[in-house]
Structure 1
């Protein structure tokens, strides 16, 4: 019976490039991972889907703890993701130091790609409303239901993509122009936990220990995240 992990997209680069291969090499176990935005994961759980372990934003994880779906004592913080802007690999990067810089970049773009389903896209939709540019940006935006927004740059449908930096890094052929200005930045904290009814509880515990090990911090940083392990 495979070790099953449900995970948000934000940690995919760190897990695929470093943490999962290292876990398999050490244990001989290759986890079966399902990648989805937080909103989709919560919908799947509500429909009865379960796994052995899960990586989720803290707010949603707290909800699962309250409902007894994950083991409270197993919850461990791992990383924080910040929202960034991507452009094509051969395109000039816009200036993003101030909120006015950001507004100019968004209004000057042919099309801005963002997602309806992810935490970053939901935040961005509210942000452009707050900045008073939602109508202008959305009139030519490329809005996807879920997935990696930078893929729309590669497909030629957008010239800017908004998403958590770690998710933008999952797409080849683009470059990170930079994070959102600090005045409008929104970090998202992620944790890992075991399901209360995990079919492989011992392996889930081993996986969580691996994701919170000293070596894991460097993997998160290399994957465009800020490690929370030093603050545990």
Structure 2
């Protein structure tokens, strides 16, 4: 026979337990809703051609969304440990990568990128630079570029998309490959502009967006159209990223009109998305 003196206490205990369970459930729901509403911390690895644009856009994205972005840098290709393909091979923390389209396509073929997430963001052209205060060489025509390269004492180009094009295509097209390759240097990882600014090369070739941030150089201009190579810089979601939805939202933001001014200011031409039929 139960003592009636304990029944109110038992009822209070049960009510307290129900209240606690209800509060715990509400707190869990609230925390889940907050986590879903607030963008997660995202890790982005960008190559040099899109670095200046992304630095500005990352700050803007954080202000607009409340999320947080951790940025790392590396070349689109090459043998250095910093190169984006090598970083992904080591499975470094990464949600989004931004690099030359050719490099991104290779990563996609290797299944390192989530299928269907590749988006072109900006179009990049190759520019020519000399040390600040040095005379500007003539690069107005292909023949002028040919003379400038033949007469230059030393030449530098990158080990990424623009440099590979110059070394393996443009010099052959101009008929001066043997003459220039002997005095040319392919620069891994370090900006070509810095090599020129330090006086280690008389003339340098790299994406305009990579030369613009470098101090101590004079940007002569873009290569003539007939020699020019336009490189898309594109974003993709890393296949092993645990934040696929948030990464997709970031790429959509970078491809939206909100990003066009920063992309253009960096020396790239924004890629305007075509309307779907």
If the length of structure 1 is used for normalisation, what is the TM-score?
A: 0.89
SS in 2 for 1:64: helix
Residues 85/42 of structure 1: CA separation in 2 closer, same or farther (3 Å cut): same
1:174 matched to 2:210: no
Distance in 2, matches of 1:220 and 1:170, equals: 13
Task: Give the 3-state SS of the residue equivalent to 1:229 in structure 2.
Answer: coil
8 Å contact kept, 1:99–1:183: yes
| 1:144-165 superposed Cα distances (whole Å, 9 cap, x missing partner) | 2222101011111112110111
Looking at CA atoms only, which structure, 1 or 2, has the larger radius of gyration?
2
2:54 equivalent among 1, 4, 15: 15
User: In the alignment, what sits opposite 2:43?
Assistant: 4
SS in 2 for 1:33: strand
Unaligned stretches of 5+ in structure 1?
Answer: none
Q: CA deviation at 1:91?
A: 2.2
| Number of residue pairs matched by the alignment | 230
Q: Which has the higher contact order (CA 8 A, sep 6+)?
A: 1
The Cα of 1:188 is off from its aligned counterpart by 0.8
Retained in 1: the 8 A contact 2:114–2:239?
yes
Tell me the CA shift for residue 213 of structure 1. 1.7
Distance 1:137 1:63, change over 3 A: closer
Tell me the TM-score normalised to structure 2 length: 0.75
Residues in 2 aligned to 1:10 and 1:231: alpha-carbon distance in whole angstroms? 23
1:121 to 157, 163, 166: 163
Give a deviation string over 1:54-89, Cα, whole Å, max 9, x none.
112223333333443322333222111111101223
Partner of 2:65: 27
Query: 1:54, 1:192 within 8 Å by CA — same for their partners in 2?
Result: yes
Instruction: State yes or no: 1:192 paired with 2:231.
Output: no
Write the distance in 2 (CA, Å) between the matches of 1:69 and 1:140: 37
RMSD (CA atoms):
2.1
